[in-house]
Amino acid sequence: MTLAGGAPSFAAQGAPAGTVTYTPDITFTLRTAIAEGKLVFMGDAGTIAGQVNPDLKVPANAVVQINVINGDGAIHDIAVPEFSAKSDTFTGKGSSTAIVFRANKDGTFEYLCTLPGHKAAGMFGKLIVGEPQEQVQSDALDIAQDPTAVGQPVGKRGPQKVTIDLETTEVIGQLASGSTYKYWTFNNKVPGPFVRVRVGDTVTVNLTNAKEASHIHSVDFHAVTGPGGGAAVTQAAPGQTKSFTFKALHPGLFVYHCATPMVAQHITNGMYGMILVEPEGGLSPVDREFYVMQGELYTAQKHGSQGLQEFSLEKLLDENPEHLMFNGTMDALSGKHKLQAVVGEQIRIFFGVGGPNLVSSFHVIGEVFDRVYSHASLTSKPLTDVQTTLVPPGGATMVEFKVDVPGNYILVDHALSRVEKGLSGILSVSGKPDPSIFHSDEPVDHSSGH
């Protein structure tokens, strides 16, 4: 067995000459399992027995052995990348493997199964070496947009004058745990604010570029009939305010974004949002409405890297993003802002793609869309009983469905490799089960997700 992390080998007492053995200071035994709807490592013995993805606490500089027993029959491995410790793959119930390494640096590190999809399915935990240091509070801004921030429906009101105030900012925001990015935003959120008006409204847009900004910014509303969707008259230098007024002529759900060259760079950095132009009489009432947008980040560092991530022009031009996300960050809709609903409620999702490059195949795992307003046309008859709907970059859709069964429903782009780069969210539905719709003798944890 290999001792990783630069530790010397140890010879057990009485071992034959030339035999390389070791004496670990601390040993953990884990078992692979399915729990709470996830693939997990389960503590198998000692103080961690029965714990899902337990914290493994070890003294500084200890020689650590982690044994793993295959409890579900699937193929797995285990690794602690920070200490260059990685097992071979093993498969079949009852098979096992182990890694041994010296924990020669203090801190909190990750152990995981490295097979594609297994970390996303839940197979990861923490190795804590030495005395855990008090976590330093990050001063990075939380730029993740709240999906419930959808404004008030227009109802039956007539046309009126509406003012939209947007500020363009360049801020260091939290991308994922331990990583940040310099986002360019509208109103310090990605996507920008959800704007809600009705057809026939006269809308004034005031765009202010923060004085601390380093770049010129603008805004192009796809709902605007006029030069550049407003971008031709809103190219604002740092500290400037530019304004224009337009009449909302077409009902629909429309994207807006910065349109200052290089436009794709401004969009990928976070400068996109949506405006809903409701038809006369408003939309039909539903129980819950959510605002969700898909975006891409192109960074020099690989997905999962720690620290400040830097923009890569080369990857942008190659259309090869390192990160994909809903509402700005890796955990915006899976940690910070889970979508909540109750059995029997009617759900409406306003979904758009900021892009700037990739088409989305929007899908909610475990649900069927009752109605899909293709390309966000609110005056066309909706499609019914749809599993997955295509949305182009700079495009949108509106989907509606009733939730009938409690549980966690995962929002994805059905180009499912993108889940590995962060693109997922959770709709958590509570309420009474209905065995006539869904039944299993297997236990179901309704708090489970992915």
User: Each residue of 376-387: pLDDT tens digit?
Assistant: 999 999 999 999
- Residues of the chain where predicted confidence (pLDDT) is lower than 70: 1-22, 132-138, 443-450
Residue 448: per-residue pLDDT = 42
258 appears as a binding residue in the annotation: yes
In a domain, 81, yes or no: yes
In a domain, 48, yes or no: yes
323 appears as a binding residue in the annotation: no
Residues 348 and 400 sit within 8 Å (Cβ to Cβ): yes
**185 and 105, same structural domain?**
no
Q: What is the DSSP letter of 76?
A: B
Residue 198: per-residue pLDDT = 98
Query: Of 236, 255, 278, which residue sits at a domain end?
Result: 278
**255 and 190, same structural domain?**
yes
**165 and 106, same structural domain?**
no
In a domain, 75, yes or no: yes
Residue 116: per-residue pLDDT = 87
In a domain, 166, yes or no: yes
Residue 444: per-residue pLDDT = 55
User: Each residue of 193-222: pLDDT tens digit?
Assistant: 999 999 999 999 999 999 999 999 999 999
**166 and 242, same structural domain?**
yes
Q: Which residues pair with 397 in a beta bridge?
A: 351
Q: Which pTM value belongs to this model?
A: 0.80
Q: How far apart are alpha carbons 363 and 438 in whole angstroms?
A: 19
Residue 135: per-residue pLDDT = 46
In a domain, 103, yes or no: yes
222 appears as a binding residue in the annotation: yes
266 appears as a binding residue in the annotation: yes
Q: What is the CATH classification number for the domain harbouring 216?
A: 2.60.40.420
**178 and 125, same structural domain?**
no
Q: How far apart are alpha carbons 42 and 31 in whole angstroms?
A: 5
In a domain, 117, yes or no: yes
Q: What is the DSSP letter of 420?
A: G
In a domain, 344, yes or no: no
Rg (CA), the chain: 25
Q: How many domains does the chain have?
A: 2
**125 and 168, same structural domain?**
no
User: Each residue of 402-416: pLDDT tens digit?
Assistant: 999 999 999 999 999
Q: How far apart are alpha carbons 107 and 132 in whole angstroms?
A: 6
Domain that includes residue 240, residue range: 161-278
**104 and 166, same structural domain?**
no
**167 and 109, same structural domain?**
no
Residue 219 region by backbone torsions, left for phi larger than 0, else alpha for psi between -120 and 50, else beta: beta
450 appears as a binding residue in the annotation: no
**17 and 125, same structural domain?**
yes
